[in-house]
Structure 1
Amino acid sequence: DINNFSFVNDNYGYDAGDSMLNDFSSILNSMKKVIKGSRINSDLFLLMISGKDKNDIMSSVNYISEKFYNMQKQKYRSNNFTVASGIYYICEKGEDVAYAIDNADLARKNIKSHKELNVCIYNEDFRIRRTREKSIITKLQNAINERQIELFLQPKFSMNSRKVIGAEALARWRNPDGTYKLPFEFIDVLERAGYIVELDFYIYEESLKCIKRWQRDNKKVVPISVNFSRKNNINPEFTQKVLNLAEKYSIDNKYIEFEITESAFAENTLAMLSNMNTLRQHGFKVDIDDFGIGYSSLSFLLNSPIDTVKVDKVFVDGIEKSNYHREFIKQMCMLINTTKKEIIFEGVETENQADFLCKCGFDIAQGWLFDKAIRVDDFEKKYIYI
């Protein structure tokens, strides 16, 4: 398929999109090695290419990509219109055609999660992974209904006073044997499949229930920050659903913060900023997560409706590596301070790291030096009901 094809339709019109499809078709029609070719839908094409060996077929695929890229380069100054190709080699006569097409499509879809690739060759791991992903997706709703998805809280600390000043909400999926699936085992799967929206709001509502309980019992209430995926953040109905749930539990909005990863700003920035502005207007705080490893700049921080910057663990790890790393993180955070944003350091694991950050004038952090993410009842016993 053609990467960024929807950008042409949205910004140049459908006639321009049709012209691009015709360009691609003209390349295929000019190639004798393309035995069969058809457009399945939109910008998705299916080809059967002959070759004396695998390298010969790969050369044909690369030729198509390069030829198409050069054609579009003449029409568009900003040319990001590359071709993503999934390849399955048919090595024996009598192979099932539907199976071969499905395998090529699995290879193509693998490119979508590895944007540095333009060509991917099928291997059996793709099918194994899809089977596992289907299992996770199928089990999600039941896991929520049966409360197998649990809210864990990782405390945020003042490094100077060593007192809890907040918490981050995290999802853990309990297995039948009592062990837990960690986020990397299911979050990305749900994100790709579009089911992350349901999980995000489940964790948000569980967080609201915690705050409601602490208020009811006249206990110390600490803010909880909740992670929301890009799919939620660009949804025009997102903020209204957030507000409706907060109203349902009669929560003071100052006790909820929304964490948005830095990489989420790569697409639909205007929609994202609109939602963030709306949240802040209603008293919520907005945090940018994993700062420093993605797309942000100082000018972005100056002009964006953000309250808190969470500095990624990769910078904290550098504190104990060299003077260069220490000076870098110090200067970076001093620049962030000029934007009047609060700073939280992620992944603080040693006293040396905490001491350095405190001496630089910073205070708030989370990490295993203080506590890991723990079950809600354990969090309440240690930090709330005391």
Structure 2
Amino acid sequence: MTYQKAKEEIIESSPQKTDAGKEELYLYSLRKMAEENVENNRTGLTNLHNINSFFYLCGEMIKQQPDKKYGVIIMDIVQFKAVNEFCGRDEGDRLLRFIASCFDWYENNRPDSYACHIRADIFCICTSYEEVEELEIIVREIRKKITDFPFAYRVQPSFGIGISPERAPAISYLKDCATMAMNSIKGKVYRTYAVFDEKMRSQKMRERQVENDIVSALENGELQLYVQPKVDMRDGRVIGGEALVRWKHPEKGLVPPREFIPVLEKNGFIINVDEYIWEKVFAYLGKLHREDRMLVPVSINVSRLHAYDEKLAETLIRLREEYDVPPEYVPLELTESAFLEDEAGMYRRMESLRERGFLVSMDDFGTGYSTMNMLKNQTLDEIKIDKEFIRDLEKDKSRIIIRNTIAMLQQLGVHIVIEGVETEEQKSFLLGCGCTDAQGFLFHRPMPVEAFDALLLQQECEYDRTK
């Protein structure tokens, strides 16, 4: 039943009520419906509240006792996918049920507390407190129980504690604060937890500003298509490009991607921005095609959130047909994280697009722990070797690893592009390994699409003169 239909039926059933009374009855009825559904909104594996009932219960608790202080503790397991791969899914589920029992204990034994199983290995608890140290004690207690749990794999939990000085804060805000605190220690094995602090609060405010500004940025054309050329290192000829987004804010000027892309990935708006840039790429290549100009591939980035986007293939096929662009001229660049969200679903979508002529490129090759498994399991047309891979060429070991990695990829028959080439030494070494195609500041920085077009036009003119 929709919100409006429920309201109309309740109001119609009480004709003698005043408008205020009707609204009060309506709200009471909705609350009763929500309360009755709470028990149905538990996760099957752990029987903890799911995120919907957790938000509802905590929201009601905070509303009824607004003068108390509330905090959220969130936890996930470092590289939980490796736990499942090493121990098996059944053992992984056994671990998750035990962790759930640790969180559930506080819901049953600590006043003003609710526990939640968000998804996979991510759990959280909301509770009232007097001093932050109370929340830190809970973290230490849960961590000790998990550490002492008899298990074949060393389990490393990470925690974030979200707090707010505001009276009656929104539960979603506390959860976001806890998540930000937890993410601040990822990769720091010497730290178990972090508490949301003033520095994070300032960052959160910047994120809110990005969220507020991004819709008008799209409407007003502030997000612009930039392209970083890909070149043949043997002669410097432009052989393609990678589409990038830049934000020219009317007051702040050029906003660095690192300040807005992570925010958009968190709130899901990156899908809108991706599709906005994709359309600009197809429109540009369609223009070249209509004008009978030389076409070069311009790859587009597909974010990890597209792992859940059932309309991904439909969108790309529509753009291809609308702008009459051969699909091989719009390679799809994905990072390993795009597959980690929904590996089977993303494999299926990519294979469907490959059948329709699109090419699939793995970006940032060599930076993820499961990259080799992905290379073995997924059909790829192109590999982009990450710039970190070629940074230490003065070391003999680095040269051996790079040389043999390139040889392996060549044997697999995939096209190779080296990212981040910045020195003549790197260029010479890579050419010696038989690798010709690259991106990097040694050749070109990212540029507005108009500048990229001028570069191509100049190259076409030079080609015509040599004919």
- By how many angstroms is 1:360 displaced? 1.5
- By how many angstroms is 1:78 displaced? 6.9
Q: Which moved more, 1:77-86 or 1:357-366?
A: 77-86
3-state SS of the aligned residue for 2:435?
coil
Q: Which moved more, 1:156-165 or 1:112-121?
A: 112-121
Letter in 1 for 2:114: R
Residue 183 of structure 2 is aligned to residue 109 of structure 1: no
Partner in structure 2 of residue 155 of structure 1: 229
Partner in structure 1 of residue 36 of structure 2: none
Separation of aligned partners in 2, 1:19 and 1:316:
43
Deviations 1:69-127 (A, max 9, x none): 65xx45x87796947341549xxxxx765259788545412145344565221211222
Deviations 1:243-282 (A, max 9, x none): 1121111111111101001233333211111111111111
- By how many angstroms is 1:160 displaced? 1.2
Partner in structure 1 of residue 159 of structure 2: 84
- Decide whether aligned partners of structure 1 residues 370 and 46 sit closer, same or farther in structure 2, where only a CA change above 3 A counts: same
Residue 337 of structure 2 is aligned to residue 263 of structure 1: yes
- Decide whether aligned partners of structure 1 residues 156 and 99 sit closer, same or farther in structure 2, where only a CA change above 3 A counts: same
Separation of aligned partners in 1, 2:115 and 2:398:
52
Deviations 1:190-249 (A, max 9, x none): 001110000011111100011011111111110010011000134222111111121111
Alignment of 1:109-128 (within 5 A): 109-114=179-184, 115-116=186-187, 118-128=192-202
Partner in structure 1 of residue 369 of structure 2: 295
Separation of aligned partners in 1, 2:252 and 2:202:
25
RMSD, matched Cα: 3.2
Separation of aligned partners in 2, 1:112 and 1:194:
19
Deviations 1:329-358 (A, max 9, x none): 111111122211111000111222111111
- By how many angstroms is 1:139 displaced? 1.3
- By how many angstroms is 1:300 displaced? 2.9
Residue 326 of structure 1 is aligned with which of 389, 399, 404?
399
Number of residue equivalences? 366
- Decide whether aligned partners of structure 1 residues 212 and 190 sit closer, same or farther in structure 2, where only a CA change above 3 A counts: same
Separation of aligned partners in 2, 1:240 and 1:112:
36
Partner in structure 2 of residue 352 of structure 1: 425
Residue 139 of structure 2 is aligned to residue 61 of structure 1: yes
| Structure 1 contact 309–344 (Cα < 8 Å) conserved | yes
3-state SS of the aligned residue for 1:202?
helix
- Decide whether aligned partners of structure 1 residues 153 and 55 sit closer, same or farther in structure 2, where only a CA change above 3 A counts: same
| Structure 2 contact 106–113 (Cα < 8 Å) conserved | no
Residue 145 of structure 1 is aligned with which of 219, 232, 238?
219
| Structure 1 contact 106–122 (Cα < 8 Å) conserved | no
Partner in structure 2 of residue 25 of structure 1: 104
Separation of aligned partners in 1, 2:373 and 2:172:
45
Partner in structure 1 of residue 60 of structure 2: none
Residue 47 of structure 1 is aligned with which of 127, 139, 145?
127
- By how many angstroms is 1:37 displaced? 3.3
Separation of aligned partners in 2, 1:288 and 1:81:
29
Residue 461 of structure 2 is aligned to residue 383 of structure 1: no
3-state SS of the aligned residue for 1:186?
helix
Partner in structure 2 of residue 220 of structure 1: 294
- By how many angstroms is 1:180 displaced? 1.4
Separation of aligned partners in 2, 1:369 and 1:85:
41
Partner in structure 1 of residue 113 of structure 2: 38
Query: TM-score normalised to the size of structure 2?
Result: 0.70
- Decide whether aligned partners of structure 1 residues 323 and 82 sit closer, same or farther in structure 2, where only a CA change above 3 A counts: closer
Letter in 1 for 2:450: D
- By how many angstroms is 1:174 displaced? 0.6
| Structure 1 contact 221–384 (Cα < 8 Å) conserved | no
Letter in 2 for 1:24: F
3-state SS of the aligned residue for 1:318?
coil
Separation of aligned partners in 2, 1:315 and 1:21:
40
Separation of aligned partners in 2, 1:278 and 1:149:
30
Return 5+ residue gaps in structure 2 as ranges: 1-73, 82-88, 118-122, 462-467
- Decide whether aligned partners of structure 1 residues 101 and 146 sit closer, same or farther in structure 2, where only a CA change above 3 A counts: closer
- By how many angstroms is 1:18 displaced? 8.5
Letter in 2 for 1:283: G
Separation of aligned partners in 2, 1:277 and 1:326:
34
| Structure 1 contact 106–126 (Cα < 8 Å) conserved | no
Deviations 1:159-205 (A, max 9, x none): 11321110000000012268411211110010011100000111111
3-state SS of the aligned residue for 2:76?
coil
- By how many angstroms is 1:324 displaced? 2.6
Return 5+ residue gaps in structure 1 as ranges: 90-94
Alignment of 1:244-263 (within 5 A): 244-263=318-337
Q: Which moved more, 1:171-180 or 1:153-162?
A: 171-180
Percent identity, aligned pairs only, is 28
